[in-house]
Structure 1
Amino acid sequence: MSKRFRTTRHALAAAAATAALSLTLSACGSGTNSDHTSAMPGMDHSASPSPSGSSDDMASMPGMGPASTGNGLADTKDGYRMTSTAATLPAGQTADYRFTVTGPDGKPVTAFAVDQTQRMHFYAIRSDLTGFQHLHPTMARNGTWTAPLAALQPGTWRLYASFTPDNGVGKGKDFVLSRTVKVPGTAMPSPLPKASDTATVDGYSVTVKGEPMAGMAHQLTATVAKDGKPVTDLQPYLDTYAHLTAFHQDNLAFAHLHPTTKVNGDHGGPTLNFHAEFAQSGDWRLFLQFQTGGKLHTAALTLHVS
């Protein structure tokens, strides 16, 4: 083999190696449109978020966002819709509010899973966070629900339906949908009480402790006392010793705070623990419901979330 031939062969080999290296670097480069780059978690810095970055997916990650129920401020979510023909309700008297939940196929949903002993939890609250009601409506065979509301004061009210479908594409997923109604008359709004960790109701004192932060999971602890003594005779209510619901001052966003204290007969208390996730910061109005001697008590207090 001549010296000139050996030199030519070495030059061709070097050129081929350089070309191969260039192709490799191009495939692993930093271009934002590279399939390889976008497929690597945490490496896609393009302006358009990927589907996996949606709020619903983040919500499924503990401490990363609001619960799967969302904030409850829409009448439609993931194809499920809360419908009603009622735009107004009478003032100062009991009234039945009728509504239907339709599925992605547009048909009324009639199969609902049981959650805390009920297939549907229904809430009503006025725009100034007064008049709280927590009801368990009844459903007709055609899927129409009827919620028997106590007398409402004039103003704008938001009505929430909390449920879990037992079939279809939403089976097993928690939903909170809501609609508003007007109650005619002159509204007399009440100012929101200042944030406090203590509330009293029917002779009971309730103290709530915790330092919740928006978008993160935290524990809240409620302690019930009467005449300065710890209460230990709480009775089960909805398969728990206390039911806790919260609404945001500015937009009435909904939060259902799940109890973690196990039920053991009619001697619950004095301490009750809750898993709390608040979607946004600000003041929230909390409603703690507990039962003693067959009577339901509802304590209300304002909690500030950082």
Structure 2
Amino acid sequence: MHTGLRITVFAAALAATFGTAYGLGSGLGEVAPESDRAPRAHERGHDPAQQGHDPAQGGHESAPPGGLHASEGGYTLALRTPTIEAGRGDRLRFAIVENTTGRTVTAYEREHSKELHLIVASRDLTVFRHLHPVRAADGTWSAPVELPEATGYRVFADFTPRGGDGLTLGADLTATGRERPARTWAPGRTARVDGYEVTLRGALSAGRPSELRLEVAKDGRPVRDLEPYLEAYGHLVALRSGDLAYLHVHPNGEPGDGSTRPGPEISFTATAPSAGTYRLFLDFRHAGVVRTAAFTVTAGAEASGPGTPRPGATANHGH
């Protein structure tokens, strides 16, 4: 995840929900064929504006989805904990393995203060977690996780091996236990999270960059003192419904750049790789707590507005 805006296409299984956070979901997508070529930085779903292009000029091809494969670019995400029990705390363990040597990777480039960013999302995109795993000396990563629903999940590892290209790899995770009924979603441009209201303005477009603006309010008043979280005032993850293709979008501007204000608005530039339904998860920090607001949007020529869950849908804690 690089500074500024970029989308790492969230996906298969936001993506974590991050502190105390809430996730709120819905279906469509196509799995790309396996590729062993390491994608360049601009191919990981990052916005082309971060590569020196002007989004206003158009003409950009959307980046291929990320997170659709466990093995890509010469590396494999080896999930050592493929099954956990829903409703019980457990430790998720995994490693990044170099395919040619079979060695576990122990050296990474730091991006947004972390060597690796880990996202866990349910297949129906109603549960989202942004986790902060710890790496042991032998290269094994682990993080505590508690998943509330007995269903299928997708794990995403977003990282850059030292001296290599950035990658997002994905693997399936199963939570066992009693299954819960399916949920439905209704349109809406405001997500309510722990007393906060986050309003989404703008529309997600397929194949071309567009601006998304998210405004944070508390008790009806704009929040003008957002706190930096992972070197930004907000982090946005988009997952395509169906195949969970992964996009990670960073905001336009960053704390301390002399022009970016700490709220109430956080601006992002995003490009959807295809038409379809996406879940957007915004992580923001205020009063020392990280919260997550979630929306459902449709990218395409006739884009509909974002969505919020119907009454009865359960918000999920995550960080």
**TM above 0.5:** yes
Does the 8 A contact of 2:66 with 2:167 survive in 1? no
| SS of equivalent residue, structure 2 residue 274 | coil
Distance 1:283 1:192 in 2: 14
| Partner deviation per Cα, 1:70-99 (whole Å, 9 max, x = no partner) | 321110111111012333111211111111
**Structure 1 regions of 5+ residues with no counterpart?**
1-53
Paired residue for 1:305?
A: 299
Q: 1:264, CA displacement in angstroms? A: 3.7
Q: State which structure, 1 or 2, has the greater radius of gyration over its C-alpha atoms.
A: 1
Paired residue for 1:223?
A: 215
| Partner deviation per Cα, 1:230-276 (whole Å, 9 max, x = no partner) | 21010000000011111112111111012113214996101111121
> Which structure's residues are more often helix, by fraction?
1
> Would you say 1:243 and 2:235 are equivalent positions?
yes
Paired residue for 1:79?
A: 74
> Would you say 1:156 and 2:156 are equivalent positions?
no
Distance 1:100 1:295 in 2: 29
Deviates more, 1:101-110 or 1:181-190: 181-190
| SS of equivalent residue, structure 2 residue 186 | coil
Distance 1:189 1:260 in 2: 39
Paired residue for 2:62?
A: 65
Paired residue for 1:103?
A: 98
| SS of equivalent residue, structure 1 residue 244 | strand
TM-score, normalised by the number of residues in structure 1:
0.74
Q: 1:192, CA displacement in angstroms? A: 4.4
The alignment-based identity, stated in percent, is: 34
Match runs of 1:1-306 below 5 Å: 59=43, 62=48, 63-66=60-63, 70-105=65-100, 106-167=102-163, 171=164, 173-264=165-256, 268-306=262-300
Q: 1:151, CA displacement in angstroms? A: 3.5
**Structure 2 regions of 5+ residues with no counterpart?**
1-36, 49-59, 301-319
Distance 1:138 1:233 in 2: 30
| SS of equivalent residue, structure 2 residue 170 | strand
Distance 2:203 2:68 in 1: 25
Distance 1:111 1:205 in 2: 40
Q: 1:189, CA displacement in angstroms? A: 4.4
Q: Which consecutive aligned stretches of 4+ in structure 1 deviate over 4 angstroms post-superposition?
A: 54-58
Distance 2:167 2:160 in 1: 6
Does the 8 A contact of 1:232 with 1:269 survive in 2? yes
Distance 1:224 1:183 in 2: 33
Sort the Cα spacing of 1:102 and 1:281 in 2 relative to 1 into closer, same or farther, 3 A.
same
Paired residue for 1:33?
A: none
Sort the Cα spacing of 1:189 and 1:80 in 2 relative to 1 into closer, same or farther, 3 A.
farther
Sort the Cα spacing of 1:55 and 1:277 in 2 relative to 1 into closer, same or farther, 3 A.
farther
| SS of equivalent residue, structure 1 residue 272 | strand
| Partner deviation per Cα, 1:165-193 (whole Å, 9 max, x = no partner) | 112xxx2x221111112212232243342
Q: 1:152, CA displacement in angstroms? A: 3.7
Distance 1:283 1:227 in 2: 30
Paired residue for 1:24?
A: none
Sort the Cα spacing of 1:87 and 1:107 in 2 relative to 1 into closer, same or farther, 3 A.
same
Does the 8 A contact of 1:122 with 1:147 survive in 2? no
Give the RMSD, CA atoms, in angstroms: 2.4
| SS of equivalent residue, structure 2 residue 83 | coil
Distance 1:227 1:264 in 2: 27
